[in-house]
Amino acid sequence: MKFYIIAGERSGDLHGSNLIKALKQQRPNAEIRCWGGDAMEEAGGELVTHYREMAFMGFFEVVKHLGTIRKKINFCKEDILSYKPDAIILIDYAGFNIRIAKFAKANNIPVHYYISPKIWAWNQKRAFKIKKNVDYMYVILPFEKEFYKRYDFEVDYVGNPLLDAIRDFKPSQNFAFKDKNVIAVLPGSRQQEVEQMMENLQKVTVEFSQEHFVVAGVKSLDKTLYSKIENQSNVSLIFDQTYDLLSNSKAALVTSGTATLETALFNVPEVVVYKTGTISYAIAKKVVKVEFISLVNLILQKEAVKELIQEKFTVKNIADELKHILPKGQKRAQILNDYKNLKALMGDENTSQKTAGMILERTILVDL
């Protein structure tokens, strides 16, 4: 049995790797070719293209790289036809994967979509394209099942794979900051995200000279992106140890994305920050249909964690909000209580195993 899996960013690589492990556990002879990252390759997938080659953020940035994206899409289509998979598994990554879904459907290749694109945030009419070209959708956010019902598309809520990843996490006994109450900084996995965070972090740390900040770096990015904090005495930089860091942190500054939910599931009070290019943000303001950008707030449908977006992403605002969530801060207790409600809403499914089982069962039925 052969599968072709496509993930286009770091979080997709994490979830894709756990799905690959589950597929191989249930079907040891399964062959998997993939677009993703180091984690998917280590899990047993044959890596075709690394996500760092496709990590474009924001409307303007995507437009600038349209030529590259088109070439990648064409190559992907040729590679799929050459590989002849029994099914394609798409992971988030809307702009690319929705095109591949249409192509696969036209070529009679079953399409499984694991982790819905965030079309409920903007361009909701994409739900019609998904319904037309996707055979099975496995959603990981509680409200997504109801969203798709509005388009008469029955999807499967399988729980959230972050719960699997955190459940399987084993803290390192050699972690450099073990048992220290540090402030975690999760600046994202894209170059622009890191640049924006490092610019302000350098100034924020001066106001918290008695605290120690630890930045979760990403090895696939150029290390010089983190150079602004190299000479800060109360700032350290580590790579690919995010869960160890979160398990030893008392608060966090987090760039919007999957990391906001990971931080909450580790019970770490956080401030969510995000800044993109001026043009991209102006376009986003016109098309985005949701009130919040962090997954925590979207699931809870309230501002449980503070979001500092674009012009609100200032040194003063970051410092003020950070004080509120540190031990004895006035917002800390409420955030921790909201996290309890968050976990109750998400449930406790063994997501990777459940999804793998459903994909395998449906693929076998097609082959019969």
State residue 342's pLDDT score.
Answer: 95
Among 2-6, 27-31, 143-147, the least confident range: 143-147
Question: Residue 161: CB partners within 8 Å, gap ≥ 6?
Answer: 14, 15, 18, 19, 115, 140, 351, 352, 355
Residue 185's nearest CA partner among 216, 228, 224, 227 is: 216
Neighbours of 37 (CB within 10 A): 27
> For residue 35, what are the contacts with CB-CB under 8 A and spacing of at least 6?
5, 6, 7, 8, 47, 48, 49, 51, 54, 76
**Fold: same for 2-159+349-367 and 182-346:** yes
- At residue 196, the pLDDT reads 78
Residue written as token pair 């924020």: 204
pLDDT tens readout for residues 328-340: 999 999 999 999 9
Q: Average pLDDT in the 277-298 region?
A: 63
In this prediction, residues 284-298 reach a mean pLDDT of 70
At 327, give phi and psi (nearest 5°). -50, 135
Which residues pair with residue 31 across a beta bridge?
A: 2
pLDDT given for residue 221 in this prediction: 83
| Residues 237-241: contacts with CB under 8 Å, at least 24 apart | 238/176, 238/177, 238/214, 241/172, 241/175, 241/216
Q: Are 285 and 311 in contact (CB under 8 A)?
A: no
Domain boundary assignment for the chain: 2-159+349-367, 182-346
For 2-159+349-367, give the CATH class.
alpha beta
- Summarize pLDDT for 69-87 with one digit per residue, the tens: 889 999 999 999 999 999 9
> What is the CATH T-level fold of the domain 182-346, as seen in this structure?
Rossmann fold (3.40.50)
Query: Which tens digits make up the pLDDT trace of 239-271?
Result: 989 999 999 999 999 988 889 999 999 999 999
In Å, the largest CA–CA distance within the chain is 66
Q: Which pLDDT does position 277 carry in this prediction?
A: 55
**Per-residue pLDDT tens over the stretch 192-228:** 778 878 888 888 988 898 999 999 998 878 888 888 8
What's the confidence (pLDDT) of residue 282? 47
Residues 6+ apart with CB under 8 A from 169: 243, 247
Answer with the residue of higher pLDDT: 11 or 65. 11
